[in-house]
Amino acid sequence: MPMNPDLEKERQGGTFDVEQLTHILDGGRDKTLKRHFLEQEVLKDPVFRGPDTRFLSREELFGELLRKHVAVIKKTQELSIDDINEASTIYSAAMNNNVGPLTLHSVAFVAPLDLMADDEQKKKWLIPAKKYEIIGCYAQTELGHGSFIRGLETRADYDVNTQQFVLNTPTETAIKWWVGGCVAVGDIGPKFGFGGVDNGYLCLNNVRIPRDNLLAKTGKVLEDGTYVKPENPKVVYGSMLGIRAALPKVGAYNLSKAVTIAIRYSCVRHQSEIKPGCGEPQVLDYQTQQHKLFPLLATAYAFHTVGVWMLDFHSTVMNEINEGHYHRLAEDHVLAAGLKAVINWKTHEGIEICRFSCGGHGYSLASSLPVIYVNHVANSTAEGETVILLLQTAVYLMKCVIDLEQGTPLDPSVAYLDQSFSKSEQWCSDVDMHSLLKAIQFRSKKFTEYVSSFVKKELMATGNQQLAFNKHKVILVECAKAHTEAVIMNAFVTKVDEILQSNPSVGKVLSLLCQIYGVTEILAHSGDYIQYEYLRKIDLDNIQDQLFKLYTYIRPEAVLLVDAFDFHDEVLKSILGRYDGQVYENMFKWAKASPFNKQDQGTFRKYIQQLKQAKL
Ligand SMILES: CCCCC/C=C\C/C=C\C/C=C\C/C=C\C/C=C/C(=O)SCCNC(=O)CCNC(=O)[C@H](O)C(C)(C)COP(=O)(O)OP(=O)(O)OC[C@H]1O[C@@H](n2cnc3c(N)ncnc32)[C@H](O)[C@@H]1OP(=O)(O)O
Ligand SMILES: Cc1cc2nc3c(=O)[nH]c(=O)nc-3n(C[C@H](O)[C@H](O)[C@H](O)COP(=O)(O)OP(=O)(O)OC[C@H]3O[C@@H](n4cnc5c(N)ncnc54)[C@H](O)[C@@H]3O)c2cc1C
């Protein structure tokens, strides 16, 4: 199919090599080539072809995705793939923006076995689980409790005579609920999205399991019922930590898809007139459209950068823990908590902005933006609800203030809290990304001190830390967000500095995005910078001007920047986001193919006839 002339023109501009940026995003040329190979292994294999999942009922969707997920597993094994990124490539190429039915088995059942089973148990369960000879799930949440783990009611009473645990969900609120991939007792019913996953309920009534079913790499129960605590009790939370550490990159992936669709479509879509008689411009030429999408384009790159960094950091900490060193577990936990919370929340807001920036067609499943949205938005609740996780980060920051007062060294990711920040010089309208980072770190430091003063005062008054925290949860959450933004901006600036050395032309365009990210973050909290007398109104006016100027620099690069995400059309599965930009013809073809246009809607005749016969 010929290329849409608008997109053809967009691709003649640009100042950097798209393929080189793709290699950087993938982690090197070899990884790009391997990703292409794996995608083609899926896309050329007829077993992965099937009905358009956007036309399927919940039941049909589950069945079709289960069929495909089994094919994904076979293909992954056939190709001897054990790298998680490569396995995810095969998975994503097949799932058409859905979450597959066996995802929880991989991310929430196999992972904890790997983390907490002893060698005997690994032989017994991990090996067959990795071969899908046993299928598992992660049944923690109950009808009455999800966030508050200490409130869970399920019981495991040890019967010393039989060396068994007797499991019970003693109350209705104790019924295990939301359990992804749990086909034992029942499905919890239709959901907002996640149609590919059978989130189940599980009632336990005196279910007996052997003593050695308790994963015993960390804590264990001896024959006489004595509980031997793990060296570090927090390691039992490790399976949730692993998924949270992965979810920032999942957020970046989903936002990159949405931004690719919205920016390509905004170049194909012509609407209204700027100068009468001069034709309808591309909607991406409107400043308001750029103001919707370019900060999100910058955010997708920022989130990808920090998502990769978080996974590397978490893997290092897990290796340290395997050698018995727990000193970075707390930092890992609060970084994963803050990044998972902020990134997934801002991503689902961003996908929604991408959807309505495509007008009516964004609302059609032909765009796939609704599919990406409803499947992504769960990640702000699942694996730790946003506020819950931000409070974890906030409590850690309050401890950092005490550490500072006591002269205890801080973890690297919070070292800036110990830095002094001179008031900014007059900010002209091309402030660089390093100055923007300093400003964002400054705000986080001031906010942490401000919140800590309130919590301390409350603690003095009540002597109860939980009460003190509970009274200031709103500003504690804001404090955690401010810190997390400093972590994101620091990761982005660090990566762009590195790329400026290795590939100046790519680095330059990424530095523009980094500035857009930083300026957008500062303008979103401009009142704080005035209140802390770090910036003046003139500075804020100048960076507002800078933002609009940055848009003009990014405008000719925008399509190339989303092309660099390198989504194959069959992976993106969006008519608005097609690489060739041939939207209208394919929208019409897709609509005509809808089963709704195929079946004779007998209901129409049946009920309308009744109206006619009723002679109203
Ligand atoms: C084949 C390839 C497949 C690829 C697939 C690709 C993409 C798939 C995309 C998406 C799908 C995948 C996943 C996501 C979607 C669905 C799955 C969802 C699963 C679930 O939802 S499982 C259930 C999740 N539930 C929660 O997260 C519960 C949240 N609540 C808690 O974690 C805890 O209650 C709490 C809030 C942390 C409170 O803990 P508590 O012990 O009560 O008190 P605290 O004093 O706050 O903590 C005590 C102590 O422990 C430290 N701590 C807490 N948590 C952790 C942790 N996780 N790690 C380390 N340390 C932790 C805390 O800091 C305290 O330490 P102190 O030093 O202060 O004592
Ligand atoms: C798509 C999806 C898949 C899931 N898969 C699984 C799975 O496979 N296995 C599993 O075990 N669970 C699973 N879950 C459940 C998930 O882990 C819980 O929904 C999540 O932990 C939130 O807990 P909750 O539902 O009890 O919400 P609640 O904690 O009841 O949250 C309700 C509101 O209360 C607020 N709140 C609660 N506590 C506090 C507090 N201390 N301070 C301030 N505000 C508070 C929250 O911020 C929120 O606004 C899944 C959920 C979803 C949506």
For the segment 120-130, what is each residue's pLDDT rounded down to a tens digit?
999 999 999 99
Nearest CA to ligand 1 atom 10: 99
Among 147, 177, 344, 481, the mutation site with the greatest number of ligand 2 atoms within 8 A of its Cβ is 147
| Residue 180 marked as a ligand binder | yes
Q: How far apart are CA 446 and CA 429, in angstroms?
A: 24
Nearest CA to ligand 1 atom 50: 234
Q: Is 427 in the pocket of ligand 2 (CB under 6 A)?
A: no
Amino acid at site 71 = A
Q: How far apart are CA 550 and CA 543, in angstroms?
A: 10
Nearest CA to ligand 2 atom 13: 178
The per-residue pLDDT for 592 is 92
Q: Is 520 in the pocket of ligand 2 (CB under 6 A)?
A: no
CATH number at residue 178: 2.40.110.10
Q: Does residue 313 belong to any structural domain of this protein? A: no
Of 234, 260, 281, the residue that ends a domain is: 234
Look at residues 276, 275, 277, 274 and name the one whose alpha carbon lies nearest to residue 288: 274
Overall domain count for the chain: 2
Q: How far apart are CA 347 and CA 395, in angstroms?
A: 24
Q: State how far the alpha carbon of 120 is from the alpha carbons of 114, 123, 138, 214, in Å.
A: 12, 5, 21, 12
Kindly list the catalytic residues. Answer: 383
Q: State how far the alpha carbon of 191 is from the alpha carbons of 59, 194, 251, 378, in Å.
A: 12, 7, 20, 10
Look at residues 486, 489, 479, 487 and name the one whose alpha carbon lies nearest to residue 391: 479
Task: Yes or no: say if 85 and 308 are a contact pair by the CB < 8 Å rule.
Answer: no
Q: Does residue 477 belong to any structural domain of this protein? A: yes
Phi and psi torsions of 367, nearest 5°: -80, -25
Give the Å distance between the CA of 146 and the centre of ligand 2: 4
Give the Å distance between the CA of 251 and the centre of ligand 2: 18
| Inter-helix orientation angle 504-524/473-502, to 10° | 160
Q: Is 378 in the pocket of ligand 2 (CB under 6 A)?
A: yes
Q: How far apart are CA 26 and CA 565, in angstroms?
A: 9
Q: For the chain, how big is the Rg over CA atoms in Å?
A: 26
Q: Is 180 in the pocket of ligand 1 (CB under 6 A)?
A: yes
Q: Does residue 500 belong to any structural domain of this protein? A: yes
Q: How far apart are CA 276 and CA 279, in angstroms?
A: 7
Give the Å distance between the CA of 595 and the centre of ligand 1: 42
Dihedral sign (CA 453, 457, 462, 467): negative
The per-residue pLDDT for 181 is 76
The pair of structure tokens assigned to 273 is 């007139």
The alpha carbon torsion through 452, 455, 459, 461 (nearest 10 deg) reads: 120
pTM exceeds 0.80, yes or no = yes
Per run of 10 residues, the mean pLDDT along the chain (length 616 residues) is 95 95 98 98 97 95 96 96 96 97 94 92 95 93 95 96 96 91 80 92 92 91 94 84 96 98 98 88 97 98 98 96 92 98 98 98 97 97 97 98 97 97 71 94 97 94 92 97 98 98 98 98 97 93 95 98 98 98 96 86 75 74
The pair of structure tokens assigned to 604 is 């129409």
Q: Does residue 67 belong to any structural domain of this protein? A: no
The pair of structure tokens assigned to 186 is 């029942």
The per-residue pLDDT for 270 is 95
235: which DSSP letter?
Answer: G
Q: Does residue 254 belong to any structural domain of this protein? A: no
Nearest CA to ligand 2 atom 23: 146
pLDDT digits (tens, 9 = 90+) for 165-185: 999 999 999 999 998 876 758
The per-residue pLDDT for 291 is 98
Residue found under tokens 């391997």: 34
Among 240, 347, 377, the mutation site with the greatest number of ligand 1 atoms within 8 A of its Cβ is 240
The pair of structure tokens assigned to 15 is 């100042």
Sheet-wide strand order for 200-202? 176-179, 200-202, 186-187
Could you tell me the end-to-end alpha-carbon distance of the chain, in angstroms, rounded to an integer?
52
Phi and psi torsions of 598, nearest 5°: -95, -40
Nearest CA to ligand 2 atom 1: 378
Q: How far apart are CA 40 and CA 34, in angstroms?
A: 10
SS3 123: helix
282: which DSSP letter?
Answer: B
Q: How far apart are CA 330 and CA 338, in angstroms?
A: 12
Q: Does residue 26 belong to any structural domain of this protein? A: no
Q: Does residue 449 belong to any structural domain of this protein? A: yes
The pair of structure tokens assigned to 553 is 């620099």
Q: Is 333 in the pocket of ligand 1 (CB under 6 A)?
A: yes
Dihedral sign (CA 82, 86, 91, 93): negative
Residue found under tokens 């499991």: 167
**Per DSSP, which regions of 257-381 are E strands?**
none
Q: Is the ipTM, as predicted for this complex, more than 0.90? A: yes
Domain membership of residue 156 as a residue range: 149-234
Of 175, 202, 234, the residue that ends a domain is: 234
Q: Does residue 199 belong to any structural domain of this protein? A: yes
Give the Å distance between the CA of 499 and the centre of ligand 1: 34
Among 197, 385, 471, the mutation site with the greatest number of ligand 2 atoms within 8 A of its Cβ is 385
Q: How far apart are CA 559 and CA 567, in angstroms?
A: 13
Q: Is 178 in the pocket of ligand 2 (CB under 6 A)?
A: yes
Look at residues 110, 91, 89 and name the one whose alpha carbon lies nearest to residue 36: 89
SS3 159: strand
Element (H, E) at 228: strand 227-228
Q: Is 149 in the pocket of ligand 1 (CB under 6 A)?
A: yes
Nearest CA to ligand 1 atom 6: 88
Bridge partners, 155 (sequence order):
168
Q: Is 180 in the pocket of ligand 2 (CB under 6 A)?
A: yes
Sheet-wide strand order for 155-159? 155-159, 164-168, 205-210
Of 185, 215, 234, the residue that ends a domain is: 234
